[in-house]
């Protein structure tokens, strides 16, 4: 993998900054100021949508009917020209606000009636369309404290610390009543439907009608509408029993494109795109793009990549710098949704002044330890590298990246700095390793943290540090610390009718050891449902990458030992299964090993799902240790499609941010035999076999005592033969009476042992 060059779109992807608000019910975009103290407000989805500030006297509204302060009847107290405080409960929010407006109030603040500090967005139920004054909700704890001060002068202002270059006027990026010059490009529906509008205006900022849940976008201007792409509704017609029966089936693709924006006369040094979104993810892809030449060329980035399958609905504000936009009279913004459930809603699209000082550690590329868990005897130096970005408009000086490691959340055990000195605005700095390294000397839990700093105060310190964890253990060797998902290759990885055989495992490197160690057992997880009686095998290989391509050809790997497992049918991916190897295997110094869970499927309908983890991204670690930097190759997972005995193992796996739960357990060696070297030729044929199995061996030296055993998948010896004073021979074993399935032939001499797998077919 080469990382020597990046495109502008690559920069934009790294520079993307997601500011995820705390929940869908607490996105509060306005502030109430009383006696110099600020309190957060959430605007209603109806009423005045202007973004300006205003001030007035705040008074408690009463309606003359108990309870006096719920505003459900005509207001009788004097609220004319004032901000009315009304309590939640008794009737709809829009009714309360209309009653206050009819009594002359200039604004309404509704006090929540729960003890939590959260609020909800007040919706239009019946009369909200008649409300023309601004209406807000305030939390109950804040209301209870402030109502004691009424009447009092208050100020209400939007939370807009940035200079808005475009999007602060009604009808620009707030979708005030509709598109207002924005364009819809309906690219495709899976069923070929034509002229189907995928992006649609929602007057009340809601996503409704789908089969699997609705949502409300609590945006700054929620009261004047938003744009919605409801993939669920289009595919299912709102009926969870009829997915794929709607007018525009998944996968759907459509774009929402802004009119040309003139930035030729703006005085700011740079601009950023900012917008608020509501989404619920299944397996969709989300893209944001910009053009500085009226759409002739686009720069595009994928966002929301961190959202899990079947995520809960989230509301977040996205902020992306747009290099080169200032000075152009034809800037355009584009939102493209490659939709496979559930929905995406967009509002409050704005171009704002780009912050001057904003450094960050790029979360998509920072090196972690070679393993999530490493036995102390196998510990080796851990090296460090992280890409950084200046996503501010100004050059930053005194830029330093620090690496600190603490043990067991206590004392710091390592600290090192990488000085960049000066970093220009809108710039990525990548591929620079630290000079130092850390080798653990004690078992325990470790946390490594990259932290970026500069001379100027940072605009957003929340992205200035990234941490990772790793364990140093007594025996366990793992690339993960627990499953987060299950995994199986997609059907299109096999030819039509081909059995769904595959293998998935991990790479482990044995450094120079101070005493002999042996691989004694392995641990893994899988889903056994529907697979009772199937027999996957855990195989340990020794690997020499003779062509230096980072992948494992069958000629580069040597069988070391194995363990077979008989699936019971009730296994789950969160269940860790541990098996002893048939024979413990002595580990050699400075040697690469692969532990593979290998599954030989009976047909193209039987799939084995394995436990896996997305908690560790090994991409930067693999690059750092690779030929372009340290030239000491280290890898994460290995994946093979097809017959595991002949298939090539790919070191890219499903991507270097996914690894299987396949662990190697080691112990100090006691009485283990070395594996026979490749100079000892052992062959079994035919394979598969029905009647007679031939075994040819040509050993490097005379064996005083040679033992040959055939073992079934449970590790039981089903046939054994002993020879003496032998070096080369051809033997026949009658296996016709044995049950069909996988077997191992194990050949052992006083100098070592080796095994070969074969299959008996009927």
**283 and 170: one domain?**
yes
Q: What is the CATH number of the domain that holds 458?
A: 2.60.40.10
**497 and 631: one domain?**
yes
| pLDDT 10s digits, 38-75 | 898 888 888 887 767 788 899 999 998 999 999 999 99
Single residue among 634, 668, 702 that ends a domain in this structure: 668
Confidence of residue 26 (pLDDT cuts 50, 70, 90): very low
| pLDDT 10s digits, 625-679 | 999 999 999 999 999 999 988 899 999 999 999 999 999 999 998 766 677 887 8
Cβ atoms within 10 Å, residue 724: 9
- The set of residues, in sequence order, having a beta carbon less than 8 Å from that of 261 and lying 6+ positions away, is 166, 330, 331, 332, 333, 351
**714 and 615: one domain?**
no
Q: What is the CATH number of the domain that holds 513?
A: 2.60.120
pTM: 0.70
**492 and 468: one domain?**
no
**130 and 154: one domain?**
yes
| pLDDT 10s digits, 579-608 | 999 889 999 999 999 999 999 999 999 999
Q: How many helices (H) and strands (E) does the chain have?
A: 5, 48
Confidence of residue 161 (pLDDT cuts 50, 70, 90): low
Order of strands across the sheet that contains 373-375? 373-375, 465-473, 444-453, 396-407, 412-423
- Domain with 539 in it: 485-668
**Beta partners for residue 518, in sequence order:** 586, 667
**282 and 334: one domain?**
yes
Return the pLDDT at 305: 86
**443 and 525: one domain?**
no
| pLDDT 10s digits, 77-95 | 999 999 999 999 999 999 9
Is it the case that residue 17 has pLDDT exceeding 50? no
Supply the mean pLDDT for the chain: 90
| pLDDT 10s digits, 368-420 | 999 999 999 999 999 999 999 998 888 999 999 999 999 998 899 999 999 99
**560 and 609: one domain?**
yes
**310 and 406: one domain?**
no
Tell me the DSSP string of 624-652. Answer: HHSTTTT------EEEEES-TTTSPBBTT
Does any domain span residue 675? no
In angstroms, the CA 258 to CA 707 distance is 77
Return the pLDDT at 446: 98
Single residue among 103, 125, 158 that ends a domain in this structure: 158
Single residue among 110, 135, 158 that ends a domain in this structure: 158
* DSSP strands (E only) in 168-249: 183-188, 200-202, 206-207, 215-216, 226-229
For residue 648, which of 579, 551, 741, 729 has the smallest C-alpha distance? 551
Tell me the C-alpha to C-alpha distance, in Å, between residue 227 and each of 8, 43, 100, 335.
28, 18, 30, 11
Helices (H), 119-212: 140-147
| pLDDT 10s digits, 274-310 | 999 999 999 999 999 999 999 999 999 999 988 888 8
**398 and 532: one domain?**
no
Give the count of domains, the chain. Answer: 5
**442 and 552: one domain?**
no
**385 and 506: one domain?**
no
For residue 570, which of 530, 525, 608, 522 has the smallest C-alpha distance? 530
Return the pLDDT at 285: 96
Does any domain span residue 740? yes
């Amino acid at each position: 993998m080469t990382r020597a060059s990046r495109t502008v779109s690559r920069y934009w992807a790294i520079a993307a900054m997601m500011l995820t608000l705390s929940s869908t019910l607490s996105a509060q975009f306005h502030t109430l100021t009383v006696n110099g103290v600020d309190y957060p407000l959430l605007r209603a989805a109806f009423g005045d949508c202007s973004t300006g500030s205003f001030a007035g006297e705040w008074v408690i509204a009463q309606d003359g009917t108990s309870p006096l302060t719920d505003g459900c009847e005509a207001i009788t107290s004097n609220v004319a020209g004032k901000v009315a405080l009304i309590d939640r409960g008794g009737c709809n929010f829009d009714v309360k606000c209309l009653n206050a407006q009819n009594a002359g109030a200039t604004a309404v603040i509704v006090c929540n009636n729960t003890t939590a500090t959260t609020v909800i967005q007040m919706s239009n139920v019946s009369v909200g369309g008649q409300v023309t004054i601004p209406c807000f909700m305030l939390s109950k704890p804040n209301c209870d404290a402030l109502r004691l001060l009424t009447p009092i002068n208050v100020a209400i202002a939007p939370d807009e610390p940035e200079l808005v270059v475009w999007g602060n006027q009604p009808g620009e990026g707030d979708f005030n009543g509709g598109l207002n010059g924005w364009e819809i490009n309906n690219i495709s529906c899976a069923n070929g439907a034509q002229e189907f509008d995928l992006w649609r205006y929602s007057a009340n900022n809601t996503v409704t009608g789908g089969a699997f849940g609705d949502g409300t976008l609590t945006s700054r201007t929620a009261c004047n509408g938003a744009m919605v792409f409801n993939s669920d509704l289009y595919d299912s017609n709102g009926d969870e029993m009829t997915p794929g029966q709607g007018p525009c089936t998944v996968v759907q693709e459509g774009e929402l494109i802004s009119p040309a924006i003139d930035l030729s006369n703006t005085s700011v040094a740079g601009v950023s795109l900012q917008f608020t979104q509501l989404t619920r993810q299944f397996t969709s892809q989300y893209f944001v793009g910009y053009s500085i030449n009226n759409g002739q060329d686009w720069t595009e980035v994928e966002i929301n990549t961190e959202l899990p399958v079947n995520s809960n609905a989230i509301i977040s504000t996205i902020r992306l710098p747009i290099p080169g936009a200032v000075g152009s009279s034809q800037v355009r913004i584009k939102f493209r949704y490659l939709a496979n459930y559930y929905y995406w809603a967009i509002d409050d699209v704005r171009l704002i002044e780009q912050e001057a000082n904003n450094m960050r550690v790029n979360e998509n590329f920072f090196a972690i330890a070679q393993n999530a868990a490493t036995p102390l005897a196998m510990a080796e130096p851990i090296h460090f590298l992280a890409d950084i970005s200046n996503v501010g408009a100004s050059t930053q000086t005194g830029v330093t990246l620090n690496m600190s490691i603490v043990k067991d959340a206590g004392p710091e055990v390592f600290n090192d700095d990488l000085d960049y000195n000066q970093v220009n605005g809108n710039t990525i700095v990548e591929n620079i390793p630290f000079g130092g390294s850390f080798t653990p000397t004690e078992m325990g839990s470790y946390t490594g943290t990259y932290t970026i700093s500069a001379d100027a105060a940072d605009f957003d310190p929340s992205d200035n540090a990234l941490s990772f964890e790793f364990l140093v253990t007594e025996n366990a060797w793992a690339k993960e610390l627990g499953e987060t998902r299950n995994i199986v290759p997609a059907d299109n990885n096999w030819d039509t009718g081909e059995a769904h055989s595959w293998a998935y495992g991990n790479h482990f490197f044995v450094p120079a050891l101070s005493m002999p160690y042996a691989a004694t057992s392995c641990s893994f997880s899988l889903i056994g449902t529907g697979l009772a009686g199937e027999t996957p095998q855990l195989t340990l290989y020794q690997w020499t990458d003779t062509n230096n391509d980072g992948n494992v050809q069958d000629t580069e790997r040597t069988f070391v030992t194995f363990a077979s497992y008989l699936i019971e049918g009730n296994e789950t991916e969160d269940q860790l299964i541990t098996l002893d190897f048939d024979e413990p295997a002595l580990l050699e110094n400075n040697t690469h090993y692969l532990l593979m869970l290998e599954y030989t499927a009976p047909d193209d309908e039987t799939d084995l799902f394995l436990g896996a983890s997305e908690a560790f991204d090994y991409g930067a670690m693999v690059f750092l240790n690779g030929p372009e930097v340290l030239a000491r190759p280290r890898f994460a997972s290995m994946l093979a499609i097809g017959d595991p005995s002949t298939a090539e193992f790919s070191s890219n796996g499903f991507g270097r941010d996914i690894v299987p739960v396949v662990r190697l357990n080691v112990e100090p060696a006691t009485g283990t035999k070395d594996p026979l070297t490749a100079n000892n030729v052992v062959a079994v044929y035919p394979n598969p076999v029905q009647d007679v199995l031939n075994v040819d061996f040509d050993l490097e030296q005379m064996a005083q005592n040679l033992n040959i055993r055939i073992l079934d998948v449970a590790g039981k010896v089903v046939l054994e033969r002993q020879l003496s004073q032998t070096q080369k021979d051809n033997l026949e074993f009658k296996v016709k009476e044995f049950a069909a399935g996988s077997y191992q032939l194990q050949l052992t001499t006083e100098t070592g042992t080796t095994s070969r797998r074969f299959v008996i077919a009927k």
